[in-house]
Every structure is written in structure tokens, then in C-alpha cells.
């Protein structure tokens, strides 16, 4: 990929006749083989520099220093939050944050001061904004699975865990929903028990269901829930892969056009 030229807005620059631009006939003084601009230093030594040229160069240096200082101060405020939030042990999170800050800054500048043809400028802004949206999703990879998991959870009962406290730890196991005086569900881990449970002397034990058909219905619903959750995690991984592919395509097609 190469840096892309950009069509200029005729309202700003006027119409340029590219077919006849810089094609005036000039008399050839000499010809030779060499490197580009290798004679410029010798030409500058031969050329007498006028006072006006000296003053112009000094003025340009002052203007350059002014703009460098101006943007140094501006960038301090634009990047302050990002820089203060970066940590050396952050990998992808820090890199994404840096990209987000700069792309946001570019978009705001392009919208206010862009010189490109309106249609071309709008396309640049749209693709940069789409890139920002993808980066925001990628910043927290867990959001892919959380979003898909939430879509499943809203369709089912609010399942609860069996919480077991040990001397030095606590475990959270299975999914359970209330039925009568007990709970219906399935434990997690190796050789999990499932069915209707009640607490007997403080321990969670299988018991006879007051309504076996309702217990069977709740267990079938739980099985379906687990299937949908597994599918949700698979879809979340697909979503993430698609974002990576889309981001790569956006960079490939547009990165070298994001300038003004």
C-alpha cells in the first residue's frame, strides 16, 4: 500500500488545470546523470543571499518555533488523560487507548479543517469512526462474551449458585432455581448431581420432588440454557474474529488516506 493522494476542495483551492499544469517550455541549460538534488548545496553556495531572504528565513524559523510550542501545549491537554492512564505492563489495552486518542483527534481536526473534496472527506471520517467503534469493542475482550451471555440470560430465570465455604476458600457451583421449599438444578465439576435439592442439616442433598413433572421441566430448561450459553460463547469468539478482520481491512483500505 502507498500513500494516497487526495482530491482538493475547489471551494478552497479553486479549479486546477492538471493537464496543462507546469508544462511550459523552458530552455535546457545542461544535462547529466546524478542523484536527486545533489547539486543543490553547490548552487546555494554560489547564490548570493539577499537581506530580504535572510529576514524571511528568520521569520519562518520564528513561526515554526511558535507552532511547535503551540502544538506542544495543545497536545499536553489532548493526551494528558491517556498518558496518565498508561502503564508499562499494559499491552493491547495501552496500544488501543493510544490509537483511540489519536484517531479521535484526527477526526475532530478533519471535520473542522479538512481540505479534501466534501465527499472524500466524509468517507475518511466515516471509516475512521468505524475504526474507533471496533477499537472500543476490542479494548475489553470480555465484553464480546458478556454481551452475548446477557442476550441469553434475559430469556431464562435468574439462576443462582451453590455457595460452599471452606476453611480457607469459597466455591460457587452449578445453576439452581427455586421450586417449593427446595432448589432444582445441576452442580458443576466432575460427576455433577442434578435434580431436586433441599438443605438437610446444613448440607445440600438430593430429595424427593414435590412435583416431578415441574422438576423435569426446569431441568430441561436448564439444559437448553447451558446449550445457548455455549453457543453464545462461540458466537462471541466469531464476533471478535470478525472485528479483527474488519479492522485489518479498514487499515489496509484507508490508513494512508487518513491525513490532510
- pLDDT for position 236: 97
- pLDDT for position 7: 77
- pLDDT for position 53: 81
Q: Using a CB cutoff of 8 Å and minimum separation of 24, what contacts does 88-96 make?
A: 92/138, 93/139, 96/135, 96/138, 96/139
- pLDDT for position 1: 58
Low-confidence residues in the chain, pLDDT < 70: 1-4, 11-25, 37-47
How do beta strands 194-200 and 160-165 pair? unpaired
Residue 123 CB-density burial (10 A; 0-12 exposed, 13-18 middle, 19+ buried): middle
What gap in Å lies between CA 108 and CA 78, rounded to an integer? 12
Asked if 243 and 251 touch (Cβ cutoff 8 Å), the reply is no
Which pTM does this prediction carry? 0.73
What are the grid coordinates assigned to 224, written together?
437448553
pLDDT digit string, tens, across residues 84-131: 999 989 889 999 999 999 999 999 999 999 989 999 999 999 999 999
Helix, strand, or coil (residue 191): coil
223 φ, ψ (degrees, to nearest 5): -60, -45
Domain positions in the chain: 147-240
Residue 84 CB-density burial (10 A; 0-12 exposed, 13-18 middle, 19+ buried): exposed
- pLDDT for position 22: 53
Amino acid at each position: 500500500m502507498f500513500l494516497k493522494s487526495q482530491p482538493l476542495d475547489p471551494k478552497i483551492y479553486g479549479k486546477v488545470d492538471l493537464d496543462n499544469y507546469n508544462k511550459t517550455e523552458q530552455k535546457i541549460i545542461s544535462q547529466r546523470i546524478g542523484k536527486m538534488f545533489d547539486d543543490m548545496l553547490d548552487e546555494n553556495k554560489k547564490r548570493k543571499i539577499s537581506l530580504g531572504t535572510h529576514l524571511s528565513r528568520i521569520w519562518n524559523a520564528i513561526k515554526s518555533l511558535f507552532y511547535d510550542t503551540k502544538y506542544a501545549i495543545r497536545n499536553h491537554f489532548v493526551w494528558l488523560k491517556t498518558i496518565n492512564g498508561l502503564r508499562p505492563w499494559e499491552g493491547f489495552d495501552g496500544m488501543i487507548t493510544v490509537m483511540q486518542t489519536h484517531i479521535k483527534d484526527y477526526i475532530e481536526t478533519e471535520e473542522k479543517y479538512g481540505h479534501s473534496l466534501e465527499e472524500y472527506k466524509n468517507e475518511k471520517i466515516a471509516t475512521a469512526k468505524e475504526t474507533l467503534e471496533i477499537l472500543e469493542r476490542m479494548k475489553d475482550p470480555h465484553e464480546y462474551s458478556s454481551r452475548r451471555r446477557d442476550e441469553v440470560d434475559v430469556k431464562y430465570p435468574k439462576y443462582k449458585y451453590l455457595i460452599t465455604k471452606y476453611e480457607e476458600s469459597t466455591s460457587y457451583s452449578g445453576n439452581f432455581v427455586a421450586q417449593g421449599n427446595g432448589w432444582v438444578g445441576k452442580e458443576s465439576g466432575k460427576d455433577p448431581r442434578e435434580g431436586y435439592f433441599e438443605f438437610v442439616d446444613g448440607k445440600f442433598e438430593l430429595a424427593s420432588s414435590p412435583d416431578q413433572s415441574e422438576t423435569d421441566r426446569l431441568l430441561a430448561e436448564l439444559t437448553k440454557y447451558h446449550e445457548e450459553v455455549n453457543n453464545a460463547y462461540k458466537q462471541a469468539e466469531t464476533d471478535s474474529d470478525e472485528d479483527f478482520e474488519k479492522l485489518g481491512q479498514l487499515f489496509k483500505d484507508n490508513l494512508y488516506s487518513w491525513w490532510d
